[in-house]
Structure 1
Amino acid sequence: MPHAEFPLGPFTPYAENPILTPQGDGWESGSVYNPAAVVKDGKVVLLYRAHADDIVSHVGLATSDDGLHFERHTEPVLSPTENYERHGCEDPRVTEIDGTYYLTYTAYDGTNAQLCLATSTDLFTWEKHGPLFPDFNTFEPNAADVPTPWSKAGAILDRKVNGRWLMYFGEGSIYHAWSDDLIHWEPGPQDEPLMVPTPPGTFGEFLVEVGPQPIIINNGLILLLHNAAVKFEDGTVRYTCGQLLFDPARPTEILAQMNRPWLEPTTREDQHGLVSNVTFVEGLVHFQDTWFAYYGQSDSTLGVATYRVGETY
């Protein structure tokens, strides 16, 4: 792992964002956003959420030699096939371990959102393993208006912790889960989230949600970039991005957190779209001496922010 410290950054949004926009009249004609990212064969690969005006999401694939300019595969690589995902396969995150790619995504049936897992060795053909936490509601302890089951946002660490695999997951509040085989996951207690929404007046007072996969950083700690939101009286929201720091020996105890966003809506694309005022990061890679953070802009387009090690806040 390249040198990195908490907080990771500063990240600078790419001046020519968005890097991907809707196209054609088919499956990615309405919105293109919320990408997972991984480096494979010397290229950055994005696995991005896209849909037409029906808002039934698919996962598309795009590759880049420089992390900024992408060539898209013509067809989606993951689409709804099961009843529990009939309204969409949404919001992927991906981790590569020993040549296998572990993709978490949200399956939506029109009422319930459930975190699901799929695996691949080539990023194009995926085996689905179904919902991971069918009895969970990650909006606890504030889930009065959210149907159960409800779970999203799974991010898997690429190495074992104390002999087991670790995942952070959750929208609303943030939880953790353990696995012996990377396929079957045992969540922590429903009533013991690792992080709940932040105090009133702060950038995560409505919800907090896991961002890209966690990483081991230079000073030996786990870094998790997460998304957070406030909700206004008129029903609109504003999504920004935070960071958490954990001790890998005790990865369920937060050591530190950023109390102001490292990424927030600043451009027209960030501030106007299907859901306005959203920067939503789901992809993080280190490539060509630079960290690339990929994010959805107002649920409509796809942007990137970069950080070259040595730059300072």
Structure 2
Amino acid sequence: MTATFPLGPFEPSTANPILRPRGDGWESANLYNPAAIVVGDRVALLYRAHAADRVSRIGLAWSDDGIRFEREDEPVLVPEHDYEKAGCEDPRVTRVDGTFYLTYTGFSGASAQLCLATSADLREWTKHGPLFPGFNTWRTLPYGPDVPWSKAGVIHPEKLVGRYWMWFGEGTIHAATSADLLHWTPVADDGHPIHTPTPGSWDATLVEIGAPPVRTADGLLVFLTNGATASSPSQVDYRCGQIAVAETDPATVVARTSEPWLRPTSFEDTHGMVSNVTFVEGLVSFRGKWFAYYGQSDTTLAVATCEV
């Protein structure tokens, strides 16, 4: 389904939060930051959750209406390697020719690296490791980690100008291309992002790609994004915006919303492990509506909707 830029207006659901931590196991402390995709006539969420140890795993939940979800008991993606020993975090998902391509952050405890996994059923995953070793999406900013650091990758399911495209990054946003969806090459080095924070605005400290793009009728790709202002690592305000690129020039941002479409307002948005956070990672068109799924203060999971 085609979109317009900007998407919206979105309204947070009165059912929020639609998923909370539960039990005393792997998802007992915090549950947030979901990827979303329509499979058949249901919405699937791949969400990040952890216990008090803060080692994240990825869970799977299903819904017939986009609001009420049934969770599978066990996580579908768990830490196995040194590069992800401190957590598998913040998934995004795209399907191409029957294969699901999941990007996620592998956190070693010192460095975050964007990783890729593939699956035919959303349950059994083959990991392909870090995509951009040595890349640091914070390099051009005067703050942030000074180690390899790359997060947040979204993939468009169709080729543009002869290649598959991914947009990725926390701090600043970059683009990469691929011939086979498994091996990715940035279009420029980490000193040349395609989108950066806007001084004096709601996204003055950092920008981060949100959900995979949707196509407009006039040849644009529209992305939900995240932006933040921060006075310290623990004093942040995350809001959600939108950017657009042209299908004929996927590495150039041609539009940006000057105001966020979502900001912390509810109790859950403003109270949690990291307070004052609305953080979007999933967007689907389902039964005549857009459903945007987001984390609330790194603690609970919510959805906002708008009519198509």
Partner of 1:195: 195
Does the residue aligned with 1:270 lie in a helix, a strand or coil?
Answer: helix
Q: Deviations over 1:223-270 (max 9, x none)?
A: 111100000268400000110111110111111110110011010000
Does the residue aligned with 1:269 lie in a helix, a strand or coil?
Answer: helix
CA RMSD of aligned residues (A): 1.1
Give the alignment's TM-score, normalised by structure 2: 0.98
Structure 1 position 118 matched with structure 2 position 132: no
Which amino acid is 2:194 matched to? Answer: L
In 2, the alpha carbon distance for the partners of 1:20 and 1:145 equals 31
Does the residue aligned with 1:232 lie in a helix, a strand or coil?
Answer: strand
Give aligned pairs, total: 307
In 2, the alpha carbon distance for the partners of 1:111 and 1:50 equals 19
Which amino acid is 1:224 matched to? Answer: F
Q: Deviations over 1:11-63 (max 9, x none)?
A: 10001200000000000000010000001121000000000000000000000
Asked whether the equivalents of residues 112 and 147 of structure 1 are also in contact (C-alpha less than 8 Å), the reply is no
Partner of 1:258: 257
Work out the percentage of aligned pairs sharing the same amino acid: 56
Distance apart, 1:188 and its partner CA: 2.3
1:30-109 alignment runs, 5 A limit: 30-109=29-108
Q: Deviations over 1:49-99 (max 9, x none)?
A: 000000000000000000000000000000001111000000000001111
Structure 1 gap segments, 5+ residues each? none
In 1, the alpha carbon distance for the partners of 2:234 and 2:301 equals 24
In 2, the alpha carbon distance for the partners of 1:250 and 1:188 equals 12
In 1, the alpha carbon distance for the partners of 2:88 and 2:307 equals 33
Q: Which runs of 4+ in 1 moved over 2 A?
A: 232-235
In 1, the alpha carbon distance for the partners of 2:225 and 2:136 equals 18
1:120-269 alignment runs, 5 A limit: 120-142=119-141, 144-189=143-188, 190-200=190-200, 202-232=201-231, 235-269=234-268
Asked whether the equivalents of residues 225 and 243 of structure 1 are also in contact (C-alpha less than 8 Å), the reply is yes
In 1, the alpha carbon distance for the partners of 2:199 and 2:250 equals 23
Distance apart, 1:143 and its partner CA: 5.6
Structure 2 gap segments, 5+ residues each? none
Asked whether the equivalents of residues 245 and 254 of structure 1 are also in contact (C-alpha less than 8 Å), the reply is yes
Asked whether the equivalents of residues 117 and 129 of structure 1 are also in contact (C-alpha less than 8 Å), the reply is yes
In 1, the alpha carbon distance for the partners of 2:2 and 2:196 equals 30
In 2, the alpha carbon distance for the partners of 1:165 and 1:42 equals 27
Distance apart, 1:199 and its partner CA: 1.2
